[in-house]
């Protein structure tokens, strides 16, 4: 490590140690990445600097805590100046915090500041859990559409021809990764843009004598078999785009480089209120009854639920029974 960096860290009264376990896709090996956040007297501002990447075998809590302690001691950084730890949400990190907190208490009177785990993971995981209750078919479709056209140059040519015929922008389908934040909205918007193209291609393939046999094709075909199934998928698509933008806004804001802990509570409350205001009566939000929003008597009437104008427009083409099914708790309200 650069001596100037260590000198700058040591000039600060306190520092925060950030750690993250990563798995390399090439060989499956694990690495513990350490970063340190501190007030830099050199730059006269809060900075975050990479400290070290530590190869790992089994990423047990104690193993990680020992590696972190050894690293900061080797660099001459005082354990007594550690303010807190920055990490994501896995349970193993609770063990790391407990062990390092005990070691800090051995060298000073006060414990580490406990600010819990990364709220970004909590927000992302909450949305992902919601999609499993309502919208999982669309998420699966987005993954398979990308795979189906990526692995075949012939299918890519078919895509371009249909796009030209329907006068739709010649865009490719984007890749969605459940482990990467802020990727789903743009993927879904691309699918919405190409929806008429998707339906046209699958109608053509369904009537073809030589249908593809790949896994992605079979999964997509099973979701687009009937007009009714296509309508349900499109409603889910519009609804997920509508709701995901709320989560995307908060995730984007909270990933700014500057310190944001002073606004964290307000931002989390705003997100909860934004979500609850979509299905709770206004007087409940005003009186903070939204904190116990599971009581059905506090909910809006079905026709008043805020599901997005585009979602409601998509539902117009559905039968009365199917619209009722989407609204009445068996489907949409699982996520709401």
Q: Which CATH class is domain 3-117?
A: alpha beta
Question: What is d(CA 34, CA 189) in angstroms, rounded to the nearest whole number?
Answer: 36
Burial of 266 (0-12, 13-18, 19+ CB in 10 A): exposed
Per-residue pLDDT of the chain (336 residues; tens, 9 = 90+): 568 888 999 999 999 999 988 776 567 678 889 999 999 999 999 899 999 998 887 778 898 999 999 999 999 999 999 999 988 766 668 889 999 999 999 999 999 998 877 788 888 888 888 888 888 899 999 999 999 999 888 899 999 999 999 999 999 999 998 777 678 899 999 999 999 999 999 988 888 888 888 899 999 999 998 988 999 999 999 999 999 988 988 988 988 878 888 899 899 888 888 888 888 888 777 665 555 556 677 788 877 888 899 998 998 888 877 777 776 544 444 444
As beta bridge partners, residue 19 has 34
Number of H helices, E strands in the chain: 15, 4
Return the number of other C-beta atoms located less than 10 Å from residue 319's C-beta: 10
Which pTM was predicted? 0.78
> Residue for token digits 């030209």?
164
3-state secondary structure of 35: strand
Break the chain into its structural domains and give their ranges: 3-117, 122-335
């Amino acid at each position: 490590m650069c001596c100037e960096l260590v000198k700058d860290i040591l000039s600060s009264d306190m520092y925060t140690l950030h750690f993250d376990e990563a798995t390399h896709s090439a060989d499956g090996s694990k690495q513990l990445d350490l970063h340190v956040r501190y007030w830099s007297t050199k730059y006269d501002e809060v900075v975050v600097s990479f400290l070290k990447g530590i190869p790992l075998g089994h990423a047990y809590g104690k193993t990680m805590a020992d590696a972190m302690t050894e690293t900061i001691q080797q660099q001459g950084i005082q354990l007594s100046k550690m303010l807190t730890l920055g990490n994501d949400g896995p349970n193993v990190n609770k063990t790391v915090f407990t062990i390092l907190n005990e070691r800090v208490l051995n060298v000073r009177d006060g414990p580490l500041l406990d600010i819990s785990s990364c709220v970004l993971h909590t927000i992302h995981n909450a949305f992902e859990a919601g999609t499993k209750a309502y919208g999982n078919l669309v998420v699966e479709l987005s993954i398979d559409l990308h795979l189906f056209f990526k692995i075949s140059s012939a299918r890519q040519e078919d895509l371009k021809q249909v796009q030209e015929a329907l006068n739709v922008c010649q865009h490719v389908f984007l890749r969605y990764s459940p482990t990467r934040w802020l990727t789903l909205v743009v993927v879904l918007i691309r699918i919405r843009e190409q929806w008429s193209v998707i339906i046209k291609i699958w109608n053509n393939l369904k009537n073809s004598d030589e249908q593809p046999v790949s896994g992605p094709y079979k999964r997509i075909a099973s979701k687009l078999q009937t007009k009714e199934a296509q309508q349900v998928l499109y409603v889910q698509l519009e609804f997920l785009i509508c709701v995901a933008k709320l989560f995307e806004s908060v995730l984007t804001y909270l990933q700014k480089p500057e310190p944001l802990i002073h606004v964290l509570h307000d931002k989390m409350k705003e997100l909860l209120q934004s979500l609850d205001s979509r299905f709770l009566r206004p007087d409940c939000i005003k009186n903070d009854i939204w904190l116990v929003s599971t009581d059905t008597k506090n909910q809006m009437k079905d026709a008043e639920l805020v599901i997005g104008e585009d979602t409601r427009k998509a539902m117009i083409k559905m039968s009365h029974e199917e619209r009722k099914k989407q609204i009445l708790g068996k489907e949409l309200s699982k996520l709401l």
